[in-house]
Amino acid sequence: MKKRFVLLLITLVCQLSYAQTFSKADLQSLQLQEDTVRSFSVKIIQGINAADRLEADSLFTRKLVRALKTKNSFHYPFESLQTVSVLYSPDSVFRIFTWQLVINENVIRQHGAIQMRTNDGSLKLFGLIDKSDVTTNVIDTIGNHRGWIGAIYYKIIQKKSGNRDFYTLLGFDENNIRSSRKLIEVLHFENGEPVFGGPFFAGEGTNSFPKSQSRYIMEFKKEAGPRLTYDKDLDMIIVEHLISESNEPKKKWTLIGDGDYEGFVWKGNTWMHVNKVFNQVTPDGQAPLPNPIRDAAGNIDESKLKGAEPEAEKKPVKPKGKGDN
């Protein structure tokens, strides 16, 4: 009974908030359009063949843009879009939509859009064009919304340097039949337009991390699920260290997590690489998760190099706009 009352209270609060933001006609229009947009978003994933999925993607995009043209649509959450990630920046300056289109098992495209908050409620939208397949140097490329390195984003971290805001995006990319990728991307705005990438990642120039690069990309075996997440308490991006289960580190599709952790800490306007996170923040170098692949002496237990995860961890789920657990 108490749970039902809480749900009812939340519903009433949301309805009151909407009533203050939208006219009754605009709210009803957005609700109806959301139903249509949702149906096409599902078909992008469930379409029987590539032609069906491509058509659904085209219709979804057109219908979403039409809905976003409704005054004050920035404040409408589109909560029913379970196959689309919708993230607001912590300061509510913008929100970003990202989703994926599987053409075949080796060709997967990410699509997206950035919607800016405007004072008069009008639409200011930047469509994101995935150019990762035709970008020569993905690690060091700086691009705008027309030269985007595609990903499904699951976290936005806002940082400042002086009076400028930088938004760090954590994302996932199914990539191809053999490997998946997670990435760290820094977004900022120049003259009101988005810029992706820049000299925001630095290390000591060792084998573990170069002196500087524009974004961080973790590519790994399809069945693996290494962690890449933000720890709010540590104020640090945590990245699981990868090793090759076949001793072929250049073959990205052989890489799996080994239970050891690296990280990035924001200093000035740069994410500085930390080679051994938990050696610095936990006593006696204790591992943060159970069943690591390396023992206390640093030796690899080959019986664990099967691509299987310990029961205490969950396998990754295809991105649906939710955070990384």
Phi, psi (degrees; rounded to nearest 5) at 154: -125, 0
Mean pLDDT, the chain, whole residue set: 85
The answer on pLDDT for 284 being more than 60 is no
Q: Is the pLDDT of residue 6 over 70?
A: no
Confidence at residue 205, expressed as pLDDT on a 0 to 100 scale: 65
Among residues 66, 97, 121, the one where a domain terminates is 66
In a domain, 18, yes or no: no
Asked if the structure places residue 2 within a domain, the reply is no
Residues 90 and 221 reside in one and the same domain = yes
pLDDT of residue 312: 42
Contact 260, 241 (CB under 8 A): yes
Whether 197 and 54 share a structural domain: no
**Does residue 15 fall inside a structural domain?**
no
Query: Would you say residue 313 lies in a domain?
Result: no
Q: Are residues 183 and 57 in the same domain?
A: no
Q: Give me the pLDDT at residue 18, please.
A: 53
Instruction: Please indicate, yes or no, whether residues 183 and 281 belong to a single structural domain of this protein.
Output: yes
Long-range contacts of 86-89 (CB under 8 A, 24+ apart): 86/321, 87/153, 87/154, 87/155, 87/156, 87/321, 88/156, 89/156, 89/158, 89/167
pLDDT at residue 33 in the model:
96
Q: What pLDDT is attached to residue 20?
A: 56
- Provide the domain count of the chain: 2
- 190 and 283 in a single domain? The answer is yes
Q: pLDDT tens-digit profile of 23-73?
A: 899 999 999 999 999 999 999 999 999 999 999 999 999 999 999 999 999
Judge if 121 and 61 occupy the same domain. Answer: no
pLDDT surpassing 90 at residue 302: no
Query: Is residue 318 included in any domain, yes or no?
Result: no
Residues 165 and 295 in one domain: yes
Apex CA 266: angle with CA 237 and CA 270, to 5°?
115
Q: Is residue 236 part of a domain?
A: yes
* Confidence tier at 78 by pLDDT (50, 70, 90): very high
Same domain, 92 and 196: yes
Establish if 293 belongs to a structural domain: yes
- 0.85 surpassed by pTM: no
* Eight-class DSSP state of 309: P
Same domain? 214 vs 260: yes
As beta bridge partners, residue 263 has: 238, 274
Task: Find the domain containing 132 and state its range.
Answer: 84-304
Are 37 and 156 in the same domain?
A: no
Alpha-carbon gap, residue 321 to 85, rounded angstroms: 3
**Domain match, 44 and 104 both:** no
Same domain, 60 and 187: no
pLDDT of 279 reads 58
Is the per-residue pLDDT at 314 higher than 80? no
Does 254 reside within a domain? Answer: yes
Q: What digits encode the pLDDT tens for the residues 181-227?
A: 999 999 999 999 999 999 999 987 666 677 789 999 999 999 998 99
